[in-house]
C-alpha cells in the first residue's frame, strides 16, 4: 500500500480571507487534521464547513505522537498539520513530526500561506536579501540581553516575534544592545483592523510605543536592520590589540579592555571580535 502524504497547511493570522482555496480543499480531503488546539481551530473549520476529524498535536505531546503518526501515514492515511495561526513550525509545533516523516521517507507537502514574519519583513523596507528569523526573545531580562548580544554583529536583517506584555522591556533591551540609532520596524496586528507599522530608529520606535498604550497591544513582529560593518572606523592600534587579546580572552572581555584603553564603544569592538571568529 502507498504511504499517505503529510500536508503542512497555513491558516490566517488575522484576516479570514487569507485562508487559501487550496488550504480549505486539502483540509476537507485528508483523513485527519493534527491541530495545535482543536477547540481554537474548530471555530475556523466550522466557519468554512470543514468536517474532517481533528486531534491535538502540541508542544507537550508532539514528540511522543510522532512515531504513531508516521505509522498512520505509512498505512496510507493523508494527514494535515495546522497551528493556531499562520505557518506550522514557525514558532509553532510540528518540527518532530516533520523530522520523523522526512526520516521515514513520507511525502511532505507544504502549502504556501500566511506567516507573520514574512509579511512583516516584506513590508518593512529593510533589506530582504538576507534575514535571520530569531523567534521569540527570552522572557527574562538577562537571557534576553544575552540573546540579543549573540546576534548584534549579524549583518542580516533580524526578525523577532514578541508578546505585547513584553514589548516595552524588549525595546529597552534592543536599545541597550544595538544602540539607539539602528533602524527598525514594529509590525502590529498584520492583516487585522488595527494593522500598524512603526518605522524609525530603535529610540524613535521605543518612544512612540511608550507614549501610546495602544501600541503595546495586539500581536507584533520586530524587524531590525542588520549590523553595519564597523571595522574600517576603528583605529588600527585598537584592532591590533583586540586581535592579540582575542586569542587569550573571551570576546566580551577583550572588547571591554580595548574600549576602555582607547575610549571606544564596547559594542563596536565586540562586533569586530565576533567577525574575527568567522
Ligand atoms: N506560525 C505563526 C506564523 O506563521 O506567523 C506564528 C506563531 S507564534 C506562536 C505567534 C506570534 O506570531 C505572535 O506572538 C506574534 O509575534 C506573531 N504574529 C502572529 N500573528 C500576527 C499578526 N497578525 N500581526 C503581527 N504579528 C503576528
Q: What is the dihedral of CA 171, 173, 176, 182, to 10 degrees?
A: -40
Residue 231: the pLDDT is 55
**Ligand 1 centroid to 90 CA: how many Å?**
9
Characterize the bridge pairing of strands 220-224 and 157-162: antiparallel
**Ligand 1 centroid to 196 CA: how many Å?**
14
**Ligand 1 centroid to 77 CA: how many Å?**
30
114 Cα nearest atom in ligand 1: 4
Residue 225 DSSP label: P
Residue 227 DSSP label: P
Topology (CATH level 3) of domain 130-224:
3.30.950
What's the CA gap between 244 and 237, in Å, rounded? 11
Q: Which residues line ligand 1 (CB under 6 A)?
A: 13-14, 83, 85-87, 90-92, 115-117, 161-163, 187-192, 219-221
Q: For the domain 5-110, what is the CATH code?
A: 3.40.1010.10
What's the CA gap between 216 and 170, in Å, rounded? 11
How confident is the model over 193-206, as pLDDT tens digits? 999 999 999 999 99
118 Cα nearest atom in ligand 1: 5
Q: Which residue intervals of 86-235 are DSSP H helices? A: 95-104, 116-124, 141-151, 167-178, 202-211
116 Cα nearest atom in ligand 1: 5
What's the CA gap between 113 and 61, in Å, rounded? 25
Using a pLDDT cut of 70, give the percent of the chain over it: 98
In which residue are the cell numbers 479570514 written?
Answer: 16
Mean pLDDT along residues 110-132? 98
Mean pLDDT along residues 262-278? 83
pLDDT at residue 128 greater than cutoff 60:
yes
**Ligand 1 centroid to 4 CA: how many Å?**
30
pLDDT bucket at 232, cuts 50 / 70 / 90: low
Mean pLDDT along residues 137-165? 96
Q: With b meaning 16 or more CB within 10 Å and e meaning fewer, what string describes 113-144? A: bbbbbbbbbebbebeeeebebbeebeeeeeeb
What's the CA gap between 267 and 274, in Å, rounded? 10
Residue 274: the pLDDT is 83
Residue 245 corresponds to which cell in the numbers above?
Answer: 587579546
How many Cβ atoms from other residues are within 10 Å of residue 242's Cβ? 25
How many Cβ atoms from other residues are within 10 Å of residue 263's Cβ? 8
Mean pLDDT along residues 25-30? 98
Which among 221, 222, 223, 224 is the best mutation to test ligand 1's pocket, defined by most ligand atoms within 8 Å of the CB? 221
Q: Is 35 in contact with 135 (CB distance < 8 Å)? A: no
User: Which of 42, 45, 14 lies closest to 27 in space, CA to CA?
Assistant: 45
Which among 112, 116, 139, 221 is the best mutation to test ligand 1's pocket, defined by most ligand atoms within 8 Å of the CB? 116
> What are residue 195's phi and psi, to 5 degrees?
-55, 130
pTM tops 0.95: no
188 Cα nearest atom in ligand 1: 25
Amino acid at each position: 500500500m502507498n504511504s499517505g502524504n503529510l500536508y503542512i497547511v497555513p491558516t490566517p493570522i488575522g484576516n479570514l480571507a487569507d485562508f487559501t482555496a487550496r488550504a480549505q480543499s486539502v483540509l476537507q480531503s485528508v483523513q485527519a487534521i493534527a491541530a495545535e488546539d482543536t477547540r481554537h481551530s474548530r471555530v475556523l473549520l466550522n466557519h468554512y464547513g470543514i468536517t474532517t476529524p481533528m486531534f491535538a498535536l502540541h508542544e507537550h505531546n508532539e514528540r511522543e505522537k510522532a512515531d504513531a503518526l508516521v505509522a498512520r501515514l505509512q498505512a496510507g492515511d493523508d494527514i494535515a498539520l495546522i497551528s493556531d495561526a499562520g505557518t506550522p513550525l514557525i514558532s509553532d509545533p510540528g518540527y518532530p513530526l516533520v523530522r520523523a516523516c522526512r526520516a521515514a521517507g513520507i511525502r511532505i507537502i507544504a502549502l504556501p500561506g500566511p506567516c507573520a514574519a514574512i509579511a512583516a519583513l516584506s513590508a518593512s523596507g529593510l533589506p530582504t536579501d538576507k534575514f535571520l528569523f530569531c523567534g521569540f526573545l527570552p522572557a527574562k531580562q538577562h537571557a534576553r540581553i544575552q540573546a540579543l548580544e549573540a546576534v548584534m554583529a549579524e549583518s542580516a536583517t533580524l526578525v523577532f516575534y514578541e508578546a505585547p506584555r513584553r514589548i516595552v522591556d524588549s525595546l529597552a533591551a534592543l536599545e541597550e544592545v544595538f544602540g539607539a540609532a539602528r533602524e527598525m520596524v514594529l509590525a502590529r496586528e498584520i492583516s487585522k483592523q488595527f494593522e500598524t507599522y512603526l518605522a524609525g530608529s530603535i529610540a524613535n520606535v521605543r518612544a512612540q510605543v511608550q507614549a501610546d498604550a495602544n501600541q503595546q497591544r495586539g500581536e507584533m513582529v520586530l524587524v531590525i536592520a542588520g549590523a553595519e560593518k564597523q571595522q574600517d572606523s576603528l583605529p588600527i592600534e585598537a584592532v591590533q590589540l583586540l586581535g592579540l587579546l582575542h586569542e587569550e580572552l573571551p570576546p566580551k572581555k577583550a572588547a571591554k579592555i580595548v574600549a576602555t584603553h582607547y575610549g571606544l564603544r564596547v559594542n563596536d569592538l565586540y562586533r569586530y571580535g565576533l567577525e574575527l571568529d568567522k
